Amino acid sequence: MIALVQRVAEASVTVAGRVSGAIGPGLLILLAVHRNDTPQEVDWMVRKCAHLRIFPDDVGRMNRSVMDTGGEALVVSQFTLYGDARKGHRPAFTRAAPPAKAEVLYDAFVAQLATKLGQPVPSGIFGAAMQVRLCNDGPVTIWLERPAPTRH
């Protein structure tokens, strides 16, 4: 599982001309599910995102999490984070989970993050073409990856 986490002043996602989710200060999380991911990767990633200390403390050091600040989170599915463009010019997405599996784990991630943060977590619409707007604060962007279990 991959989460590209951005500290934002604000962010929104629009689908077919309608805003499906918007937040003020907090985290924009672009989430990709690996074909071998399980609920254990979801649990790990939720904990990591919720406790990631990338917000400034009173002396300006990145020492506070979104939970500490009471910030919001917006989650957008983005299987293209698993794009492999090492060969040729067109990326291959063979490491990404098939849509039916990815959607279940994506929905679980959003629900668990909402529980962890104690507030609703808006999101994009899984599988839809979306436009994401953000004001990256810092800028701060962190790549988190939890390797999927190996299957033989």
Report, as residue numbers or ranges, the catalytic residues.
Answer: 78-80
In contact, 11 and 23? CB cutoff 8 Å: yes
Secondary element (H or E) of residue 55: strand 55-56
Question: Which residue reads 């668990």 in tokens?
Answer: 112
Tell me the angle at which helices 39-51 and 99-117 cross, rounded to the nearest 10 degrees.
Answer: 40
CB contact burial 110-119 (16+ within 10 A = b; e otherwise): bebbbebbee
